[in-house]
């Protein structure tokens, strides 16, 4: 049984699997075995890692990292999968994020160009998109405070307000853990 669950989590060579990752992999395996509507979709999917993030004193979130090439497949079932996982891990929000790599800028004189998708900025923007999926980002503002700190204001699509608003605190906490940047999620008012 344990070897079957291990197929639901594939880590980079030599990295041990911790207890939370084992629990998430077990939950995915259980969903595949018991939930008939998710069974076919979950058969070929696996995760690359999971971390628990303290969002506030009373709230925690589970950030599930999935391989980039499986991210589209996860997006197809993300709403149902997140709902089922949040039932299993009660009291914790579940967020799915793709594994992305940031490549440092090329050295002077180097002929090797790094892809645009591996720059720090594009990886941070992609993580932001992953966090709020399926809600769309309709605008971004960078606010510079008087003390020199910066806050990114992200405007989300108002039609998804009911489903996304309770989770905005978790989105902010996970983004801060991933990037070290503060972010505030808002919904624009339609007039």
pLDDT digits (tens, 9 = 90+) for 74-93: 888 888 888 888 888 888 88
Q: Look-up: residue for tokens 């989300």? A: 156
Q: Do the beta carbons of residue 93 and residue 174 sit within 8 Å?
A: no
Find the Cα–Cα–Cα–Cα dihedral 95, 64, 67, 14, rounded to 10°.
Answer: 160
pLDDT tens string 17-53: 888 888 888 888 888 888 777 777 788 888 888 888 8
Q: How many helices (H) and strands (E) does the chain have?
A: 7, 6
Contact 17, 49 (CB under 8 A): no
Instruction: Kindly report whether the peptide bond that precedes residue 39 is cis, defined as omega within 30 degrees of 0.
Output: no
In this prediction the pTM is 0.85
Q: What is the pLDDT of residues 82-135, one digit of tens each?
A: 888 888 888 888 999 999 888 888 888 888 888 888 888 899 999 999 998 888
In the chain the first and final C-alpha atoms are separated, in Å, by 56
Judge whether residue 189 has pLDDT over 70: yes
Does the pLDDT value for residue 2 go beyond 80?
A: no
pLDDT on residue 97: 92
């Amino acid at each position: 049984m344990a070897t079957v669950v291990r197929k639901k989590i594939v880590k980079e060579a030599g990295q041990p699997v911790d207890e939370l990752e084992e629990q998430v992999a077990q939950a995915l395996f259980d969903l595949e075995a018991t939930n008939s509507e998710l069974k076919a979709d979950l058969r070929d999917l696996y995760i690359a890692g999971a971390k628990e993030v303290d969002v506030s004193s009373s709230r925690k979130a589970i950030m599930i990292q999935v391989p980039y090439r499986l991210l589209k497949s996860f997006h197809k079932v993300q709403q149902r999968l997140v709902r089922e996982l949040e039932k299993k891990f009660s009291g914790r929000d579940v967020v799915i994020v793709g594994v992305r790599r940031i490549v440092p800028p090329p050295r002077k004189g180097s002929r090797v160009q790094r892809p645009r998708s591996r720059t720090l900025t594009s990886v941070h923007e992609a993580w932001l998109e992953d966090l709020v999926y399926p809600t769309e980002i309709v605008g971004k503002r960078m606010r510079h405070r008087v003390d020199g700190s910066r806050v990114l204001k992200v405007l989300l699509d108002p039609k998804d307000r009911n489903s996304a608003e309770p989770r905005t605190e978790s989105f902010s906490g996970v983004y801060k853990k991933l990037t070290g940047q503060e972010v505030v999620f808002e919904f624009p008012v339609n007039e």
